[in-house]
Structure 1
C-alpha cells in the first residue's frame, strides 16, 4: 500500500523531480488583468480618417469605435510556464466586454538553441515595430496609435505562424528576425477565399408569392471572385539595435517590413445585392525608435520616455464589382447568381499608398505620477485610397489626418494604475476636398493586475 501511495504521489513530493515542471502549483504562473474605460465625447464627431474608412475592423475594445459611457475592455488571462529545459510557453485568453472570448496569443519559444538563435511558434503578436507586440495594459496611452490601428488593424499584426530570431554576439544589443505567418491581418493581409458567409439572396418560391417581385431570402454561403490561396501568405522581417548609452540612458532603434502575397477585400452594398472586390498583394516598411532616461528619482520622478514609429503601406489590387441577379428564373441556391457589373473603374488596377506616424513623450512629474503627450498623423507623404465617388479610375488623394493626446497617470503600485486622457482629432473628410471633421473626447481608465506578471520587454 505504501508503495502504491508513493507511486501516485511521487511526482508531487519535494524529493521527486520526475513530474516537476508545467504541472506544479507555481508553474504555470497565472495573472489576470482588468481594464475598464469611461469615455465622453464632449465636442464634435469624428468618423474614420479620410482614405481609411473602408476595410477597417471596428470594435474589439481596443480604442477605435469606443462608444461613450462605461465599458469593460479586455480582461486578460495570461498563463506562462517553463515547460522543460528546452521550451517556454505562453498563452493569453481575452474576454472582450462581457461575452466575447478570444485567444490573443498561444505560443512556445525555444530556450536552448545554439548561437543566440530562438524559434517562436503558434499564435502571437508580430515583433515588427515597437508597440505591435504589446498588450493594451503595456501602452502609455488609453488607445492604440492611429498608424498601427489603421494600417494593420485593431490588434496590429496578430497571426499564427513561426518566427526565427537571432541575438547576434555583438558588444551592443543587436537582434534580427523573420516571421512566416498564415496571413489574415485586415489591414495588410486581408483574406476572403473563394467562399464567404456574407449575406446573399435567393428566389422566393412560396405559394403566396404573386410573382411580381422576387423574394429576398438570405443564403449562408456566397461563391466569390477570389481564388483560394493557401497559407502562409504573410512574411515579415525586423532588426532591432540598442546602443550602449551608459547606466542612466537606454535606446532602441528598429526597422521592419513585410510582404503579403494575397490581399483580398470585399464590401457589400444595397442589402447584400452588390459587392465591391479588391484582389492583389501588399507590402509595408517602417522604422521605430525609443529612448529612456532613468533619473533615479523616488518612484519614477524625473524619468523620461520618448517613443515614435513610422510606417508606409502599399496595396496593389484589381477592382471589380458584382451584382446578385436575383430576378433570374433559375437561381443557384448554393450561392446566388453573381453577375459582373460594369463601371468606368471596374476591372482596373490601382494602389492604396498610405503612411502614418506618431511621436510621444512620457515624463515622471512626481512620485507615482506620469504625464504624457502624443502627436499622430495619417497620410503624411501619401494618402491615395479607393473613393467610390470617383468615376475615373476609382482612386483619389485624401488629406492628412491628425490626432493629439494629453494624459496623466497615477500608479498606486506596480500592479495598478488610473489614467485620464484628452484626445483632439482633426480628420480629413471621406470626400476628397470636403470639410474636415474634428472631435474632443475625454477618457478615464483603470487597470489592475492580479497575480504574478512577468517583466515587460524594453
Structure 2
C-alpha cells in the first residue's frame, strides 16, 4: 500500500512537471509565432515601400519609354497670284501679312502652303510619356526651312482627383474648338480665315498654366481657366513701344502673364449623333508692334477682349462613315490707340523720335462653318465657308465689309499614318494697296505622313 502511494505521488509530480513544461513550451511557441508574424509584416511593408519608391524613381525610365513620332507635311500649290504680290495684300483694318512669306524686322515667317510650287510645311517631332503616378509630359517640335520652334512642351497632372486637371508649360489653348488642334488633325489644309486674321495661323499657343474641372454631372461639362504670357503677335503681344530714334519708352510692356482665358464646354449624345458646344473668352493687353515694317510702320496698344462660341455635331452612319458639322463665331473688342511716325503730305516719315497717337476702337467679328462627310475608312470630302462679317473702327463702317472665302476638299487616307488631300480655295477677302478687292484661286495638293507612336487626339 505504501509503495502504491509512493508511485502515485511520484506520477502526479511528474505529471505536474510535464504540464508545466508543456505550458511553458506553448508560451514559447506563441511568442515565436508572434515574432515571425511581425517579421513577415515588416517584410511586406518593405516590399510595398520599395515598390512605391521604385514607381516614383524609375516609373518612366525603364518600363515606360516615351512615345516618339515624326510627322512630315508637304504640299504643291498653284495660286492665281504671284508670290511677291501676296505680301502686299491685307484685310483692311483687320490684318495684313497673312498670305505668303513676310517678315517683321529680323524675323521672317512663312505660313503653311505659302509659295507657289512645292512647300515643306513642317516636320513635327513629338514625344510623350508618363513621368510617374502623378504627372505626364508632352513635347512637340516644329522644324521648317525658317528654323526650329518648340510648339508645345508641358507637364500635366494625372491624379488630382475630383475631376481636376492642371497643365504648365507651353501649350495650345483650349479656347474655342479648332485652336487646340494640331494642323495635321484639322479637316482642311489651312486655318479658318477668322482665326488667321485675329490670332494668326498658330492661334493662341503660349507659355502659362491651365486648370480644368470636369463637373460630377451626368452630362459632360468642363470649365477651364488659363493664365498665359500673352505673346501672340497678331492680337496681344508683350513688346514695349519705343520710337526708333528715341530712348524714351512711349508705352511700357504689360505685366505678365498678360492673357487670361476662360471657357466652358459640354456635350451630349442623341442616338448616333454627338453634340459638342462651348463658349470662350480671352482678355489681355494688345501690344501689336509693326514699327519695323518697311511699309507703313505702326503700333497698336489696347485693352482687348475676344469672345467665341463653337458647335460640333457628328452623326455616325456606321463605324467609319459619318457626317460632321463644325462652326465657330469670334467677336473681338479692342479699345486703345494707334501709334505712327509723323509724315508729310506725301506720306514720307519726317520724325522717328516721336509718335502721332490716334485713339482707336475696333469691333470686329467673323465665323466659319464646315461640313465633312466620310464615305468609308479611306475617303472623305468637305466644304467650308469663311467670313469676316463685321469691321467697325471708331464706330464707322466706311472700310470694306464681308470678307469671305470658299474651300472644298477631298482626301484619301491610305492608313492611319498617311493622307493625301486635294483642296481648292476661292479667297475674296484680300485687298491690294490701291484698295481693290482681289479674287484669289488656290489649288493645294497636300501629303501628310507619320511614323512612330503618336498619342490619340481629342474628339
Q: Could you tell me the TM-score, scaled by structure 2's length?
A: 0.78
Match of 2:380, SS state, is strand
Contact 1:372 1:407 in 2 (8 A): yes
Structure-to-structure mapping, 1:121-200, within 5 angstroms = 121-193=168-240, 200=244
Contact 1:323 1:339 in 2 (8 A): no
Partner of 1:320: 339
Change in Cα spacing, 1:270 to 1:37, as seen in structure 2 (3 Å) is closer
Partner of 2:288: 265
Partner of 1:384: 392
> 1:428: Cα distance to partner?
5.3
> 1:185: Cα distance to partner?
0.8
Contact 1:408 1:420 in 2 (8 A): yes
Q: Provide the C-alpha distance between the structure 2 equivalents of 1:222 and 1:56, rounded to a whole number of angstroms.
A: 31
Change in Cα spacing, 1:38 to 1:255, as seen in structure 2 (3 Å) is same
Pairing partner for 1:63 from 85, 104, 112 = 112
Q: Deviations over 1:80-139 (max 9, x none)?
A: 111011111111011023x51000001111111121011111100000001100111101
Partner of 1:104: 151
Contact 2:95 2:198 in 1 (8 A): no
Gaps (5+ residues) in structure 2? Answer: 1-53, 102-108, 344-350
> 1:31: Cα distance to partner?
0.8
Match of 2:254, SS state, is coil
Q: Deviations over 1:265-292 (max 9, x none)?
A: 23337959x8433222111101001111
Q: Provide the C-alpha distance between the structure 1 equivalents of 2:56 and 2:385, rounded to a whole number of angstroms.
A: 55
Contact 1:234 1:259 in 2 (8 A): yes
> 1:43: Cα distance to partner?
6.5
Match of 1:340, SS state, is coil
- When you count helix as a share of all residues, which structure comes out higher? 2
Pairing partner for 1:91 from 136, 139, 145 = 139
Partner of 2:447: 446
Q: Provide the C-alpha distance between the structure 1 equivalents of 2:234 and 2:369, rounded to a whole number of angstroms.
A: 21
> 1:75: Cα distance to partner?
0.8
How many residue pairs align between the two structures?
390
Gaps (5+ residues) in structure 1? Answer: 1-15, 202-220, 325-336, 387-392
Partner of 2:322: 303
1:375 aligns with 2:376: no
Partner of 1:115: 162
Please tell me the root mean square deviation across aligned C-alpha atoms, in Å. Answer: 3.0
Which moved further from structure 2: 421-430 or 149-158?
421-430
